[in-house]
A = this chain, B = another copy of it.
Amino acid sequence: MNDNCAALRARPRDRIAGAARDLFHKHGIRGIGVDAIAEAAGTNKMTLYRHFGSKDDLIIQCLRDAALEAESWWAEFEADHPGDPSAQLHAWVLGCAECVDDRGCDLANAAVELADSDHPARRVIEEIKTDQRNRLVKLCSAAGIAEADLLADTLWLLVEGARVSRQSVGAEGPSVRFVRMCEAIIASFGGGPAATPSRNSKSDLREQVA
């Protein structure tokens, strides 16, 4: 069974949300209409609107799916380094480096595209981003960093910056040094150095750890 068949066997609601996430990611939220999403999901606009009352509802579902994916991502590197918050912090940096790609963060991009501060998706973006940032503060604190808030916010702005800079100037721009910057900053806050990376990665950014 090829991937297409597997996708068609998924429930219509999941197919629509999956197609929407993929297309929003590639083309931007405003660059894609519900017709294209319904077609990519192998369904029609009527079915789309039966599951999602509006395009805005579908956007919010995609943002919440992105947040769930981030949850799995945190769980993964916590499981890789149980009881070792310092190693988890370095794993967070490496994990972020792998997310620095040509389209960056779906949540940050959505905030840029949905310029109206009253758009219902904006509250969802703020809620998810704030949760993620607070989790990073806790991790920095657990790793023994005295100024955990300041380190977390610095790392946070660096990853947000790397993801948006990569979109503006490509892979050879400032984002190529992301891991090296983070490691230097963690060290300047009194954090221990990264151990030899234990997971394989195709990202060039990983090389910056050395």
Binding site for B on A (CB under 8 A): 26-28, 30-31, 102-104, 107-109, 111-113, 115-117, 125-126, 129-130, 133, 150, 152-154, 156-165, 167-170, 173-175, 177-178, 180-181, 184-185, 188
Contacts and interface: CB of A to CB of B under 8 A. Distances in A.
A170 B126 contact: yes
Given A30-B30, A161-B158, A111 B153 contact: no
B30 A133 contact: no
B130 A30 contact: no
Copy number of this protein in the oligomer?
A: 2
A73 to B, nearest CB: 18
Given A112-B28, A115-B28, A115-B103, A126 B168 contact: yes
Given A154-B177, A160-B164, A161-B164, 13 more contacts: A27-B116, A28-B112, A28-B115, A30-B31, A31-B115, A111-B168, A112-B113, A125-B168, A129-B169, A133-B174, A156-B174, A157-B161, A160-B160
A169 B126 contact: yes
